[in-house]
Structure 1
Amino acid sequence: MPLVELSRLAGTVFLAVTLVVVGDTCGKLLTQAGVAPFVVAWSRFAIGALALLPLARFSWGDLIVLKDWRVLLRAVFITGGICSILTALKTEPIANVFGAFFIGPIISYILAIIFLKERPTPLHSLLLGLGFLGVLLVVKPGFGMSTGTLFAILAGIFYGCYLFMTKLLAGAMRASVLLVSQLIIGTLLLTPIGLNSPLPPNDTVLWLLIVASALGSAGGNYLLVVANRMADASLVAPLVYTQLISATLLGILVFDDWPDPIALAGLSFIALSGLGSLALKRS
């Protein structure tokens, strides 16, 4: 890919992942204010579905995808991932949560080898190993891992399974249909829990944060669909690691959460893994 097009792609992906982090920053503010993570997740799916339905050109005929068990399972994985990451964000710094969350690509990599018989190159495996080392430095297993960190890891596992299911469905359905279908299914799954959970008080700021959280996440995911139209998914995926930059900066600016030296080293390893994968794809 020419450098100009790659720069445009990188800018689109960075804006996309930054919007996702903005949505999660609003989610963290909400959960710290006492709003249940499931309520935040429910509102995110519901508002996101309403916002993206017109853009995705989702028709009644597209509802047939909801009968596909692969589509349903994929939506269950992303629903579990979002509920888990919002629970983690309630107590943990944003950068650390996203660092642990990036165990997802490694899970997807292992599942692809087992079920799709993929045979990645040794260098690709080495780069993913570097990323895994980074995750270990962030989560610090065996050194008093918090409950929030465990939820962040669980979110990453869910996300890895979601990535694998997305790869399984690649080419079979439009990306926009898959995006809207996961929002519809997520809304339906969480509605019973959302309705039975305490809603925010009549506070304008909290409701604005709910809308911002949902629109940030929806906008980010829609731009990722746009990015995948601009280039092959294998080229887009490593660029998603730039999310760590946004997560670290917003964590510092909004919550004054500075990663400790070990976590910062881990985040650096994860970022290097992503950049190395990008260079490998270009070569």
Structure 2
Amino acid sequence: MALSEPTIAIASNPQRERAIGIGLMFLAVACFSCLDATAKYVSQSVDPLVAVWARYVVSVSLTFLIINPWTQSGVMRTQRPGLQLVRSALMLFTTICSFTALKYLQLVENMSIQFATPLIVALLAGPMLGEWVGPRRLIAIGIGLVGVLIITRPGLGIMHPAALLTLAGTIGYSFFGIITRLLAGHDSSATTTFYSGLVGLVGMTAILPWIWTETPSLTTVALLLLMGTFAALGHWLLVIAHARVPAATLSPFMYSQIIWMLALGYVLFGDWPDTLTFIGAAVVIASGLYLLYRGQVARQEPKRVA
């Protein structure tokens, strides 16, 4: 799941552009679901950190073919190098947490916790961006976080402790989203995309000799390459979708990812979540959708507190 602020294109046929944008959003979340499913599958034969390294190598290489100093002059110039460094480090942290947790959690369990990202972003937007939420949205955030507790059930010994990794990664990704918005006013989306994977690529390559314990099979290598391709393709589709349709229109459709996770988890791993996981996921999704709705109301009536 990525947050970006690309320029909205002016469409001659708004309904057609909306349909195309939503379709691209569905394809993007399908790619991200396949990315997680592949990462979980290869974690059975290689260290999750090796999978993280492969994800960065492939996705950064594919991105570099399109965004580089030769095709886009000045793409390396940034007004906020410190923020770019922190943002890239947060992406690496989030990826490590997610890939490690996926070795132990069901796909739906992992994703349901990550759906809390918009709730955490809404809380952080006040002190970091000055975008304070009103009492109704605060209640929705609280209810959504209760949904996360229903999923994880801390202290009951039901959910694997790896769920804490997912939660930590979700918090990290929330800060990542806030910093992405801060950078939007200083650097172009191309510059931010260019720097996104560099910290991860350099950092994971530096520790590769210590995590590469054995040579993977050709099948595993192919899956690692496919995983990185899913990552790059998913982010590319997401940017194109946002270039056609406003984020407020597309955001509700990100929750369709849970359908992909259910299908892939059942087909590939024979996993099916328990009833409380479904209930918790429904609470988190409902809270997120309500936040989106109240955000639209606030934009239409700026003098009212949503």
Structure 2 length-normalised TM:
0.83
Alignment-mate amino acid for residue 268 of structure 2: V
What displacement does 1:110 show?
Answer: 1.6
Q: Which residue of 1 aligns with 2:33?
A: 21
Indicate whether 1:251 and 2:262 are aligned.
Answer: no
Query: Residue 74 of structure 2 aligns to a residue in which SS?
Result: helix
- Greater mean alpha carbon deviation, residues 137-146 or residues 124-133: 124-133
Q: Which residue of 1 aligns with 2:153?
A: 140
The 3 A distance-change label for structure 1 pair 219 and 3 is: same
> How do 1:25-44 residues align onto structure 2 when only pairs under 5 Å count?
25-33=37-45, 35-44=46-55
CA contact (8 A) 1:107 1:160 kept: yes
Percent identity between the two aligned chains: 26
On the 8 A contact 1:238/1:277 being kept in 2, the answer is no
Measure, in 2, the Cα distance between the counterparts of 1:227 and 1:130.
30
CA 1:169/1:76 → structure 2, altered by over 3 Å: closer, same or farther?
Answer: same
- 196-205 vs 245-254, which deviates more? 196-205
How many residues are paired up? 282
Matches of 2:60 and 2:253 in 1, distance apart? 25
Aligned equivalents of 2:225 and 2:79: distance in 1? 26
* 1:271 aligns to 2:285 (yes or no): yes
Whole-angstrom distance in 1 between the partners of 2:290 and 2:205: 41
Q: Quick one: structure 1 residues 252 and 263, their matched pair in 2 at CA, closer, same or farther if it must change by over 3 Å?
A: same
Q: What is the CA–CA distance in structure 1 between the aligned matches of 2:89 and 2:79, rounded to whole Å?
A: 12
Q: Distance in 1 between matches of 2:79 and 2:198?
A: 9
Is the 2:21–2:241 contact (alpha carbons within 8 Å) kept by the matching residues of 1?
A: yes
Superposed displacement of residue 60, structure 1: 6.2
Partners of 2:248 and 2:296 within 8 A in 1:
no
Q: Which residue of 1 aligns with 2:7?
A: none
Q: Does 2:199 correspond to 1:192?
A: no
Instruction: Tell me if structure 1 keeps the 8 A contact 2:56–2:197.
Output: yes
Q: Residue 161 of structure 1 is aligned with which of 175, 181, 201?
A: 175
Deviation at 1:123, TM superposition (A): 4.1
Partners of 1:182 and 1:3 in 2: CA distance? 33
Separation of aligned partners in 1, 2:133 and 2:253: 19
Q: After the TM superposition, which of the residue ranges 137-146 and 46-55 deviates more from structure 2?
A: 137-146
Q: What is the match of residue 152 of structure 1?
A: 166
Query: In the aligned structure 1, how far is the partner of 2:60 from the partner of 2:16?
Result: 33
1:68 and 2:68 correspond: no
1:94 to 107, 126, 130: 107
Aligned to 1:8: 20
Mapped partners of 1:129, 1:139: distance in 2:
16
Partner of 1:182: 196
Aligned residue in 1 for 2:66: 55
Name the structure 2 match of 1:205: 219
Q: Tell me which protein shows more helix as a share of its residues.
A: 1
Matched, 1:46 2:60: no
> In the alignment, is the contact (CA less than 8 A) between 1:137 and 1:263 conserved in 2?
yes
Superposed CA deviations along residues 163-191 of structure 1, whole A, max 9, x for unmatched, are 11111112432323322311122101211
Given residue 231 of structure 2, which amino acid in structure 1 is its aligned partner? Answer: S
Larger Rg belongs to:
2
RMSD over aligned Cα, in angstroms?
2.4
Q: 1:10 to 1:132 in 2, by over 3 A?
A: farther
